[in-house]
Amino acid sequence: MLFNPEFCRNESEVESKLIVQYLLPQLGYTPDTWHQEVAVGSIRLDFLAFAAQVLPFVLDANSPLSVVMEAKHPKQNLNNHVLRLRHYLTSLNVGYGLLTNGREIRIYEKSESDIKLVFQCSGKEVEAKLEEIQDLIGRDSLKQKQLIDKSEIQISQEKQFNLHIQAQGKFSMKTIAIYHNKGGVGKTTVAVNLAAALSKKGRRVLLVDIDSQANTTFATGLIKFQFEEDDDLKDKNIYHLIESGEFNYIPDIVRQSQYFNNPEIDVIPSHITLIEYQEKLNKIASTRRRLVKKLNMVENHYDIVLIDTPPSRDYYAEIALIAADYLIIPSDLKPFANQGLPTVKNFIKDINEYREDIGKMPIKIMGVVASKISTNSKFLQYTFPKQRNVIKERYNLPLMEAVIYDRTVLSECMNQTITVGELEYPDPKSVIKYAEQSKSNAQQSAMEFEILADEVLQKMGIN
């Protein structure tokens, strides 16, 4: 197909005739790998194309490079739009930007906090220069660059990790399991937002998801794909950490949360396929000690490890409790949750017996943390005090002072989305970050988690 810039008489024709009908197909982008009229907060992009069908606004070793394409009226000077393109690329962490008015075509590359012009030609030269354009922003070219970048980033991360280990003195890393055998009590909400609050207080946090439901993995923004073939978690998750004692260590598996918190949090993701491997792993006694072993290898890299566990008494819950120094039990304090507490206590007894066999001290129950608690004034005045007393008097368990109330903002911040073309992708936030974004209704919840974080640090003696 030939392109004639004389046929582009307005911005709409630059979009349709140059970008949609000519450039995108010539560069190898299929309809499922580019989007038109992309909205990202206050930013509106004309076109966004990327190497794979995943949310592109993630800059790590596993995300595809992407290109923004902006079309302007043929009479407009492209110099007037360079600053805006710079804002797009640097704000969204997008690798390349194409700017054109049909008469002229420019390609810019993101370079740290700025952009640089890497290609320029007239509209009449586009066919002759097509190979150069393909080398820069063609889909196959981006895929190849992604492989190179992934390798370089991994090497850089490993070097930084090793330097950090060498620079740090001995530090007694603390590991906390978040566990209750009753589901729906706010376990994941506590895990992810406590991690966010501890991180805000300057603690180096590792968040481990060992539940096949992968709620923590979702909540920290790591599931940003709509199609199975783009699932980049299935080959590197918690299963691969515990399947072998000889490879797949934490630096190989760890991901950083994506736009979830500030600062972001290191996460060992889970996956729905975890449940398929339980029987296989359960038959190998040594797998129960592998999480302990591999966490010990990074004890100078993190201050606190939080493990979100499955709501059951199964193999994965055992592994988490064997590895943990402390246990937090989230509970809504309602009868069904309370009736599960004796089972939790018996489970801990069995776990402590195993811990003794491998030379570990008994797990310390930090306490039951009241979560998903109604804010109704009469409930708080009459019912809630009685519920709290039951924990200590009937079940003989410590009760934490912090209380996490049931507020709609907690589900609201977890259910944030981002629109890319016609597709909607998850874009969850911690309540800590959500409150910082001038969300006044989140400030109370954020404060509750900060209070919980202070109590946790005090109980561990590292405040």
What is the reported pLDDT for 92?
78
Domains and CATH numbers, the chain: 5-147 (3.90.1570), 170-460 (3.40.50.300)
* Model confidence at 53: pLDDT above 70: no
Give the pair of three-digit tokens for residue 304: 């606190």
Reference 254, options 239, 236, 235, 272; nearest CA is 236
Contact 281, 288 (CB under 8 A): no
Helix (H) / strand (E) containing 420: strand 417-420
Contact 199, 329 (CB under 8 A): no
In terms of Cβ atoms closer than 10 Å to its own Cβ (0-12, 13-18, 19+), residue 364 is middle
What is the reported pLDDT for 177?
98
In this prediction, residues 168-181 reach a mean pLDDT of 81
Residue 33: pLDDT band by 50, 70, 90 thresholds? confident
Reference 184, options 314, 317, 334; nearest CA is 334
Whole-angstrom CA distances from 322 to 210, 319, 350 are 13, 5, 10
The strand order across the sheet containing 326-331 reads 255-256, 266-268, 205-209, 304-308, 174-178, 326-331, 364-373, 399-405
Residue 153: pLDDT band by 50, 70, 90 thresholds? very low
Residue 268, classed as helix, strand or coil, is: strand
In this prediction, residues 387-397 reach a mean pLDDT of 95
In terms of Cβ atoms closer than 10 Å to its own Cβ (0-12, 13-18, 19+), residue 94 is buried
Residue 34: pLDDT band by 50, 70, 90 thresholds? confident
* Model confidence at 158: pLDDT above 80: no
What is the reported pLDDT for 59?
37
Asked which of 29-43, 131-145, 343-357, 420-434 is least confident by mean pLDDT, the reply is 29-43
Asked which of 81-85, 156-160, 202-206 is least confident by mean pLDDT, the reply is 156-160
In this prediction, residues 341-368 reach a mean pLDDT of 95
Note the maximum CA span of the chain: 84
* Model confidence at 40: pLDDT above 80: no
The strand order across the sheet containing 43-50 reads 114-122, 104-111, 96-100, 66-71, 43-50, 34-40, 417-420, 423-426
pLDDT tens column, 306-326: 999 999 999 999 999 999 999
Torsion angle (degrees, nearest 10) of CA 215, 220, 224, 227: -20
Q: Higher-confidence residue: 54 or 445?
A: 445
In one-letter notation, the amino acid at residue 144 is Q
What is the reported pLDDT for 148?
57
pLDDT tens column, 59-72: 343 445 689 999 99
Give the pair of three-digit tokens for residue 386: 């009685």
What is the reported pLDDT for 205?
97
In this prediction, residues 90-116 reach a mean pLDDT of 88
In terms of Cβ atoms closer than 10 Å to its own Cβ (0-12, 13-18, 19+), residue 8 is buried
Whole-angstrom CA distances from 26 to 1, 102, 134 are 9, 16, 8
Asked which of 276-280, 417-421, 426-430 is least confident by mean pLDDT, the reply is 417-421
Q: Which residues pair with 381 in a beta bridge?
A: none
3-state helix, strand, coil in the chain (%, to 5): 45, 20, 35
Q: What proportion of the chain, given as a percentage, has pLDDT over 70? A: 89
* Model confidence at 349: pLDDT above 90: yes
What is the reported pLDDT for 83?
77
Give the pair of three-digit tokens for residue 168: 């740090």
